[in-house]
Chains A and B, each alone.
Chain A
Amino acid sequence: MIHSPYIRKPASVQSVMLTVLLALLPGITAYVMQVAAVVVVNLLIATVTALAAEALILALRRRQIAPALSDLSAVVTAWLVVLCFPPILPWWVTVLGVLIAIVAVKHLYGGLGQNPFNPAMVAYCAMIVAFPSLMSQWPPAGQLDFQTQLDLVLGGARQLDAITGATALDAMRTGLRTSGASVESVLQQDGAFGAVGGRGWEWLALGYVAGGLFMLARRIITWHMPVAFIATLAVVSGIFWLAEPARFAPPLFHLASGGAMLAAFFIVTDPVSGATTPRGKLIFAAGIAVIAYLIRVFGAFPEGIAFAVLLMNLCVPLIDMKTQPAVFGHRGSRP
């Protein structure tokens, strides 16, 4: 028998996921126009792989396939994997990344809603450790024609050094390692930089912000995580920058480069593997920003967000436990 409440808001996991996919579109559009149109092909490959993997594993687990596939959560995971991987990866790396995300991270932990780690971030970390050189080949914005990109993705013909460039974060790191270099001089000598961040990538960042605002408006995410992430990244990078402007890039550079905005609105905010209480969300996102910054500047990888997310994923149970909001009537408020 059905019990109260007898009415439900017309909400579904599917509509939540669809909103996330829609919100990714401005960023993807900027990606196609500014950096590499081949990302569309990658998205396609990843989507098909994710759905096939999901169907297969559901069949193995003897679960109903149709409802789980139509909730679109696998597609969201697939797209996020693609958007944080370099676009000119051979197709099988994308497939492998998606398989890791869906099969290992999601389903081996019990399926939708059960994974303690962010699937896309695990995929990223696994791949960058397994294929460090492939995973650090990024096309210089607007330099490769579509056919070349496609050949790289599907064919695997790779005369790498000729066609790939460094990302802005990478260029900044290596640039600053040479003696006598300052942020200023590095910014001037390399074509990887645009107005504030990586050339072309600034537009992606804007696109992700637009999508993020859309999700905020649709109440898919709350303000806590994006605000805490962006503010903390700005403050931490700002402190270093103010202390030694020649050695540390300004906050805006950090915000507009790499995956910062994608992370702020789409990665950090993953509800399943993130903290859930209001205060917990602030701590979680701020923690990611701090760790990501430290890895970017002092660590072994140019981009640190993925590792930062996984590290903070580990802390989620503790954060949630320690930040339970006071329950109605237990605040002892008396006017």
Chain B
Amino acid sequence: MIARLFNFHGGIKPDSHKNESSSLPIANAPLPPRLTIPLRQSVRSAARCLVAPGQRVLKGERIGAGEGPLGTDVHASTSGTVVGLAPCAMAHASGLDTLAVVIEPDGKDEWIERRAFDHRAVPRDAALRYLSTCGIVGMGGAGFPTHIKLGNGRGIETLIINGAECEPWITCDDRLMREGAAQVLSGAAILHELIGARRTLVGIEDNKREAIAAMREAAAHLTAPVEIVAIPTRYPAGGEKQLIRVLTGIEIAHGKLGTEFGVQCFNVGTAHAVHRAIHYGEPLVSRVVTLTGNVSHPGNYEVALGTPVETLLALAGPKPDTDRYLMGGPMMGITIADLSVPIGKTSNCIIAASPALFPPPPPELPCIRCGACARACPADLQPFELYWFSRAKNVGKAQEYHLFDCIECGSCAFVCPSHIPLVDYFRFSKSEIWARERELKASDQARERFEFRNYRQEREKEEKAAKLAAKAAETRAKLSGSAAATDTAAADDPKKALIAAALARAKQQAATAESGTAAASHANGPGAPDSTNRREQPHPHDSDATS
């Protein structure tokens, strides 16, 4: 069966620069003197630390327990001693700090006891839980936990394995498919079973001929319905939504999940990691990283997670005119602010940048509405309109023009003859909208707090009035009930009695007045007993009424 290919609008063809590293086999990167393994593996969840400084750990040993449904476990990526817990910078655009376990390798690289896991012998839930304890997350993009993406085992027709690797320079998936095609497909088969798919498609850009050949060769030995599909080389064909579109014709809108359309997508690295976990009992402790760019020895390395970028760079030998380093590709990657950041599960490539390789863009000129950006946009947006609205800070209009469908692929900025950093404008507008929403939420909360305070003050007033009224009634009863006593008392001390009577009168007056207004404001009829009742009425804000 030959799959029919579909087209996505736009896209660009930047120089691929894959030759620099694509012919170099994956080599093992040496262990650094210290591994820094962040407990927060994604923006969404952090793991609870399970180790203490001084403790010896083995390779693959759990050092962090995933928390919450999105959590996955964190493991030591070699054997050694935990020497500390320290905050470290995350390789993330946010530049957030996170808590990390620092391990000093002992050089033995001694594994925990590994045992294959028979995912067919256990209920599906248990298999998914197992993957989460192995720390398996998506290795292509955002590092979303694989066990979540596997869904409930129903409704996914098509499993897609993403081997497109469309960003320039990056070759780690290419090498993985060339050298480990059988393992990748083995992992794909496991995912296929767990997700309950009917067919599996592997999409690979047609500029990776060796990878396609190797995968086809390996697929020929399989009985499972796996199809290796060569797709046209056009950035961003490896974007999840674009790949799904090319292979199946389905368009997944912003905010929708593939599962709603019967497709799910996993990166080849993820499939490989699933294979290791199930067949060898190995948690995810290393990944392939491409080192390339302005370096003397580009290459692809199997790198222990937690290896600092700087020690890794020594392998490639950056040239003297290197001015910064990128993590990821040149289209969507980030500048590494701090070279001590560790390699994480989604770090696929480190590129040494020089002014010659990545010259700073020429000065920004006004938009001439040439429409080149719209022709390049894979999301069918009109980037120059979004740019215009973003510049005018008209974020509402930008949102109306589907700002949030922008995947920040950079194609528009790539082609713009006026060199406008369009994506930066979009990021700005998005953050602006998020900030506004946060503010709105905050002001909502403030308003609720204010309303609740009003309510509480009113209630207290009523309570006070009720109390006073009750007391006044009591006094009245006392006064009339023991007139004789009062008389004697009055005789004893007429002055005192007079004062007491006046006080009681005043209190009574005040009480009726207050309870009257309170009752009127509630349109609930007059009377003190009523207001005591009202106290017991449930109020929507009572549950969080701590102030």
Contacts and interface: CB of A to CB of B under 8 A. Distances in A.
Interface of A: 1-9, 11-13, 15-16, 67, 71, 73, 111-114, 219-220, 222, 271-272, 274, 276-277, 320, 324-331, 333-335
Contact of A7 (B330, B374, B401, B421): B330
Given A324-B401, A329-B256, A271 B374 contact: no
A15 B365 CA distance: 13
B427 interface: yes
A59 B298 CA distance: 50
Given A16-B368, A67-B365, A73-B368, A328 B330 contact: no
A149 to B, nearest CB: 34
Nearest to B400: A324
A16 B369 CA distance: 12
B248 interface: yes
Contacts of A67: 363, 365
B254 interface: yes
Contact of A112 (B335, B368, B414): B368
B34 interface: no
A176 B80 CA distance: 99
A272 B388 CA distance: 13
Contacts of A324: 382, 401
Interface in B402-453: 402, 405, 408, 410-411, 413-419, 421, 423-424, 427
B8 A11 contact: no
- SS of A interface (majority): loop
B389 to A, nearest CB: 12
Given A11-B372, A333-B250, A334-B261, 9 more contacts: A2-B361, A4-B333, A7-B331, A13-B417, A15-B417, A67-B363, A277-B374, A326-B380, A328-B9
A113 B382 CA distance: 16
Interface of B: 8-9, 12, 14-15, 168, 241, 245, 248-254, 256, 261, 326, 328, 330-335, 353, 358, 360-363, 365-372, 374-375, 378-382, 384-385, 401-402, 405, 408, 410-411, 413-419, 421, 423-424, 427
Contacts of A111: 366
Given A271-B368, A329-B251, A13 B418 contact: yes
A274 B402 CA distance: 22
Contact of A3 (B241, B370, B427): B427
Contact of B380 (A13, A73, A276, A327): A327
Contacts of A1: 335
A335 B250 contact: yes
A330 B402 contact: yes
A113 B367 contact: yes
Contacts of A4: 328, 330-334, 408, 410, 423
B369 A8 contact: no
A328 B251 contact: yes
B427 to A, nearest CB: 7
B417 A271 contact: no
B368 A335 contact: no
Contact of B253 (A16, A325, A330, A335): A330
15 contacts: A4-B332, A4-B410, A8-B413, A9-B414, A12-B417, A112-B365, A272-B368, A320-B385, A325-B380, A326-B380, A328-B378, A328-B405, A329-B251, A329-B256, A335-B250
B120 to A, nearest CB: 32
A16 B367 CA distance: 13
Given A5-B332, A9-B415, A112 B369 contact: no
A71 B316 CA distance: 41
Contacts of B385: 276, 320
B93 to A, nearest CB: 9
Query: What 6 pairs across the A-B complex have the smallest Cβ distances?
Result: A329-B253, A5-B410, A113-B366, A6-B330, A335-B249, A328-B379
A329 B334 CA distance: 27
Given A3-B427, A324-B401, A8 B368 contact: no
A16 B370 contact: yes
A6 B253 CA distance: 27
Contacts of A2: 335, 360-361
A257 B30 CA distance: 76
B136 to A, nearest CB: 27
B380 A328 contact: yes
Contact of B353 (A3, A6, A15, A112): A6
B365 A327 contact: no
B108 to A, nearest CB: 40
Contacts of A320: 385
Contacts of A16: 368, 370, 417
A23 to B, nearest CB: 15
B365 A3 contact: no
Contact of B423 (A3, A12, A329): A3
A276 B369 contact: yes
Contacts of B330: 4-7
Contacts of A9: 12, 14, 414-415
